[in-house]
């Protein structure tokens, strides 16, 4: 049966291939993309142009991009219905980013939390790209006239500045861009490090055991959960301010099993942290096992992956160029 794609709402999201994907990227982002995908027209990208705001080894970057495409598919994104593409293969992203950077204020960029965090961590390389990154991210989103941008909590500020830029541009030139809304999941929007539950689980985290990667083996996952930092109380209760470690584990458990916090509290009413950590570890292992196996299988078929990202770039390029042409006309570039 033909579906009327014209009327469908649009989703765009992306992840920087700056390292191996984590349980945080999965629960905060990709899992929700897969759940929303059947109701939207979807564009999911490997944000390699964003990744080079921090120095990357070229061979590693190339391998990480391929691994990321395989993981997107393994996590349930259907390449036949979603455009899975590599950002640098759709030149409209760089082109619109330049235009939008002329409608983005120095002051608003200076307030971005990610810029402050990353420049504190990379004092020797506080480059202009790191600073103007939100204009590129706004281009990513606005090129597709996206309605919804599913991301983890840390990216909310970037979606908000994207809305401000779009409104500013529309205010000057008339309706050009759709104003997108962030989609932040109720549970799993901010998974914390297992070793430091006050810090976000992040793929560039170097502390051993803090981060679970999507391709980690069962034994390593179980060990990391057994060693997860909790507190000196005993009850499994959701209370992020006083029990950040346990609450983080509850978020993870809830997100992978679908159980509510009350159901989890009841399940572990008369049990200790040891049993709870084991249950969380096992639930995560079962969630990640098929993803790891499918990713390994896909990585053995590089030709298939190339077909997917080529077709993805073609579909994305078509939609993106439509918006870019409109923008160029509006700002007064000769056609």
The tokens of 231 are what? 């507190």
Residue span 192-231 as binding mask against ligand ATP, x where in contact by CB under 6 A, dash where not: --------xxxxx---------------------------
User: Is 302 a catalytic site residue?
Assistant: no
Nearer to ligand ATP, 163 or 190 (CB): 190
Q: Of 18, 47, 10, nearest to 133 (Cα)? A: 47
* Site for ligand ATP contains 12 (CB under 6 A): no
Nearer to ligand LTN, 97 or 285 (CB): 97
* Site for ligand ATP contains 190 (CB under 6 A): yes
The active-site residue out of 9, 20, 116, 118 is: 118
* Site for ligand ATP contains 24 (CB under 6 A): yes
Considering CB distances under 5 to 8 angstroms, the limit depending on partner class, which of ligand ATP, ligand LTN, none binds residue 204?
ligand ATP
Residues between 145 and 174 that touch ligand ATP (CB under 6 A): 151-152, 154-155
The active-site residue out of 31, 200, 243, 277 is: 200
Q: Cα–Cα–Cα angle for 256, 262, 268, nearest 5°?
A: 80
- Encode 77-109: b = buried (16+ Cβ within 10 Å), e = exposed: bebeebbbbbbbbbebbebbbebbbebbeeeeb
For ligand ATP, which residue of 148, 191, 285, 319 counts as binding (CB under 6 A)?
Answer: 191
Contact region with ligand ATP (CB under 6 A), list: 31-39, 59-67, 121-129, 183-191: 183-191
For ligand ATP, which residue of 10, 11, 18, 141 counts as binding (CB under 6 A)?
Answer: 18
Is there a contact between 273 and 227 (Cβ–Cβ < 8 Å)?
no
Considering CB distances under 5 to 8 angstroms, the limit depending on partner class, which of ligand ATP, ligand LTN, none binds residue 22?
ligand ATP
> Which residues make up the interface to ligand LTN (CB under 6 A)?
12-16, 47, 50, 137, 140-141, 149, 151, 155, 158
The Cα–Cα gap between 150 and 28 comes to 8
User: Is 203 a catalytic site residue?
Assistant: yes
Considering CB distances under 5 to 8 angstroms, the limit depending on partner class, which of ligand ATP, ligand LTN, none binds residue 69?
none
The tokens of 77 are what? 């994104």
User: Is 226 a catalytic site residue?
Assistant: no
* Site for ligand ATP contains 25 (CB under 6 A): yes
Active site residues: 118, 200, 203
**Contacts with ligand ATP, residue ranges (CB under 6 A):** 15-16, 18-19, 22, 24-25, 27-29, 151-152, 154-155, 189-191, 200-204
């Amino acid at each position: 049966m033909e579906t009327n794609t014209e009327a469908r709402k649009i989703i765009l999201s992306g992840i920087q291939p700056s390292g191996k994907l984590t349980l945080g990227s999965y629960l905060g982002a990709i899992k929700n993309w897969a759940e929303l995908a059947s109701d939207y027209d979807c564009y999911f990208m490997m944000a390699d142009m964003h990744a080079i705001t921090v120095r990357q080894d070229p061979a590693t970057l190339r391998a990480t991009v391929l691994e990321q495409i395989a993981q997107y598919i393994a996590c349930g994104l259907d390449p036949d219905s979603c455009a899975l593409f590599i950002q640098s293969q759709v030149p409209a992203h760089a082109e619109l980013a330049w235009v939008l950077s002329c409608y983005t204020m120095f002051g608003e960029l200076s307030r971005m939390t990610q810029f402050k965090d990353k420049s504190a961590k990379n004092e020797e390389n506080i480059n202009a790209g790191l600073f103007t990154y939100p204009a590129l991210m706004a281009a990513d989103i606005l090129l597709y006239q996206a309605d919804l941008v599913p991301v983890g909590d840390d990216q909310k500020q970037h979606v908000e500045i994207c809305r401000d830029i779009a409104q500013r541009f529309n205010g000057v030139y008339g309706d050009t861009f759709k104003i997108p809304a962030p989609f932040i999941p109720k549970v799993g929007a901010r998974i914390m490090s297992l070793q430091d539950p006050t810090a976000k689980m992040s793929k560039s985290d170097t502390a051993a055991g803090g981060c679970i990667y999507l391709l980690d083996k069962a034994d390593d996952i179980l060990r990391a959960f057994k060693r997860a930092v909790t507190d000196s109380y005993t009850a499994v209760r959701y209370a992020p301010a006083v029990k950040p470690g346990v609450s983080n584990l509850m978020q993870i458990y809830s997100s992978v099993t679908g159980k509510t916090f009350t159901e989890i509290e009841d399940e572990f009413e008369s049990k200790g942290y040891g049993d709870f950590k084991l249950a969380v570890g096992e639930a995560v292992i079962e969630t990640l096992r098929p993803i790891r196996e499918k990713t390994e299988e896909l990585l053995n078929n590089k030709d298939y992956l190339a077909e997917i990202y080529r077709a993805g770039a073609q579909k994305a390029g078509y939609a993106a160029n439509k918006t870019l042409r409109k923008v160029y006309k509006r700002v007064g570039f000769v056609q």
